[in-house]
Amino acid sequence: MADSPTDRFDDIPDSLGRVGAHRAPAPRGRGWIVVAWAALASGVLVVAGLYGLSLISDRVTFPLPGIGTGEPTAEPTVAPTDAPPSVEPITDPALAALPPGFTITVLNGTEVDGLGATARDLLVAPGWPVGTVTAAAQTDLPETVVYFSDPALEGVAAGMVALLGAGVIELSDAFPGAPITIALGADFAAVAAP
């Protein structure tokens, strides 16, 4: 085969990005960009899938930092009591002076599927605003506890116990994002069973 004479396209200087039909070599590390985009897309799909599952079932939890819907991490400020509350239970939301944006969080602390939805239905029927309904970190709670963060909400907490037919009330600052948090226990599962 005959040798062709060399011309300006055969010698590519490193400083040029492109000369004629010849291209400069690909920059190093370009493969990592593809890997990073694939990892980001996978992470977004996993988070979206977990969030979707948490909306479908109250047995799947997807806690977000700063939301305050998890189990208490601090010791409660006041121990639960079986003594009757010192105020009259308020079961009608029209009779309560509720703070703006007031919602009730329901945590299912049992193995019974759908118990959180049952409690939500009992509370929504008279008009109480129920926000998050999800599974608690523990699934072996023996007793339902209605946590309230403000002493002015003691009557509302007592009303939740009256509406659910089970439980005790407890003043606690363990749920900073929720004025009323209900952790359902086995006593409510027994009451709610058909």
Q: Where are the domains of the chain?
A: 93-192
Give pLDDT, residue 19: 52
Give the 3-state secondary structure of the chain: CCCCCCCCCCCCCCCCCEECCEECCCCCCHHHHHHHHHHHHHHHHHHHHHHHHHHHCCCCCCCCCCCCCCCCCCCCCCCCCCCCCCCCCCCCHHHCCCCCCCCEEEEECCCCCCHHHHHHHHHHCCCCCEEEEEECCCCCCCCCEEEECCHHHHHHHHHHHHHHCCCEEEECCCCCCCCEEEEECHHHHHHHCC
Strand pairing report for 145-148 and 180-184: antiparallel
Give, rounded to a whole angstrom, the gap between the first and last alpha carbons of the chain: 92
Give pLDDT, residue 149: 87
Q: Looking at the whole model, is its pTM more than 0.85?
A: no
pLDDT along the chain (194 residues), means of 10: 73 60 67 89 89 71 52 48 65 85 89 89 90 88 90 89 90 84 90 75
Give pLDDT, residue 143: 92
Give pLDDT, residue 41: 95
Give pLDDT, residue 2: 67
**In the CATH hierarchy, which fold is given to the domain comprising 93-192?**
Alpha-Beta Plaits (3.30.70)
In the 8-state DSSP scheme, what is residue 65? T
Query: How many other C-beta atoms are found inside a 10 Å radius of the C-beta of residue 162?
Result: 14
